[in-house]
Amino acid sequence: MAKYTLSVYMDNCPGVLFKITNMLNRRGFNIESLAAGITDDPSKSRMTVIVSSDKFQVDQVVKQMNKIVHVLDITVLEREKMFQRELLLVKVGIKDFATRNEIIELAEVFRGRVVDVSNTSITIESTGDEEKNNALIQLLKPYGIETIARTGVIALERGKYNQN
C-alpha cells in the first residue's frame, strides 16, 4: 500500500462533492484525506484526495472519477514533483506557566504560531505536510490535547510542472 495524491479540477457547484465521495464509497475506495476549495475561476474548485492503495486501484479511482460530469481533469501527483500542505489547529490544556512556555517553544521549533491563549489552554497553528503535523501532535500529547482540527492535505505540482 502506498499513498497517492490526486488533484481533481472540477465544477464548483452544489452536489459535486457528494457525487465524488458517493462514487468513492460505492466503489469501495479507501480515502485518507480529502480537501476542496475554490480556484481563481469561481466556477471551478480543486480537490486534493489522498488515496491509500496500490497502483491498480488508483487507476480505477481516476477512471471512475473521469466519468463524473463535473470533473474536468485529474492529475496523479508524483511525490518528487509536488508539495503538500496541511493546516493543523491544536488546543492544549495548560496546568502552569512553565508548561505553557514549553508548548510555545515546541511550536516555534515546528514554525507554528500561537493563535489563542487563555488561563487554561493554548492553541497552536501549524502548517506543513501531514508527517510534520503528526510529529507535533505526538510531542504535544503528553501535555493533554483538548481538541484538534485539520484541514486535510492540499497539494500542487512544483514550478515547471503545470496542471491544466
Partner 1 sequence: MKIKGTKIILECLLEQGVDTVFGYPGGTILNLYDELYDYKDKITHILTAHEQGASHAADGYARSTGKVGVCFATSGPGATNLTTGIATAYMDSSPVVFITCNVVDPCIGTDAFQEVNITGISAPITKNSYFINHIDDLAPSIREAFTLAKSGRPGPVLLDVTKDVTAAMGEFTPMTKEEYIEELIKTDKVNRPVFRGIKHAELQDGIIDTVLELLEESQKPFVIAGGGIIKAGAEKELKEFVEKYDTPVCSTLMGLGGIDAHHPLFTGMIGMHGTQTSNQAVTNCDLIIGLGTRFNDRITCSSSVFGEKAKIIHVDIDEAEIDKNVQTDCSVVGDLKAVLTLLNQKMAEKSYCHEEWKKTVAAYQEKTVYNESKYLNPKEMIEFVEKETNGEAIIATDVGQHQMWAAQYYTYKRPKQSITSGGFGTMGFGLGAAIGSKIGNPEVPVVHITGDGSFRMNSNELATVSYYDIPIITIVFNNTVLGMVRQWQHLMYQERYSETTLDRAPDFVKLAEAYDIKGYRVDTMEAFKIAFREALESGKPALLDCKIDKDEMVNPMVAPGSNLTNFILD
Residues 83-122 that bind partner 1 (CB under 8 A): none
String marking each residue 57-86 x if it binds partner 1 according to CB under 8 A = --xx--xx-xxxx-xxxx------------
In this structure, the chain runs to a length of: 164
Q: Is 12 in the site for partner 1 (CB under 8 A)?
A: no
Count CA within 13 A, CB hemisphere, residue 47.
Answer: 25
Residue closer to partner 1 (CB basis): 4 or 110: 4
DSSP state, residue 143: G
Contact yes or no for 94/146 (Cβ under 8 A): no
Q: CA neighbours within 13 Å on the CB side: how many for 121?
A: 14
Phi, psi of 57 (to 5 degrees): -65, -40
Q: Report the alpha-carbon distance of residue 143 to residue 99 in Å, rounded.
A: 8
Among residues 15, 37, 142, 144, the one that binds partner 1 under rule CB under 8 A: 15
Q: Which of 14, 28, 42, 159 binds partner 1 (CB under 8 A)?
A: 14
How far apart, in whole angstroms, are the C-alpha atoms of residue 101 and residue 73?
47
Specify the residue, 18 or 97, whose C-beta has the smaller distance to partner 1.
Answer: 18
Binding mask 22-61 for partner 1 (x = CB under 8 A): xx--x-----------------------------x--xx-
DSSP letter assigned to residue 69: T
Min dist. Cβ of residue 31 to partner 1 (A): 16
Least spacing, CB of residue 80 vs partner 1, in Å:
26
* 148 touches 113 (CB < 8 A): no
Smallest gap from residue 108 Cβ to partner 1 (A) = 46
Residue numbers of the site for partner 1 (CB under 8 A)?
14-15, 18-19, 22-23, 26, 56, 59-60, 63-64, 66-69, 71-74
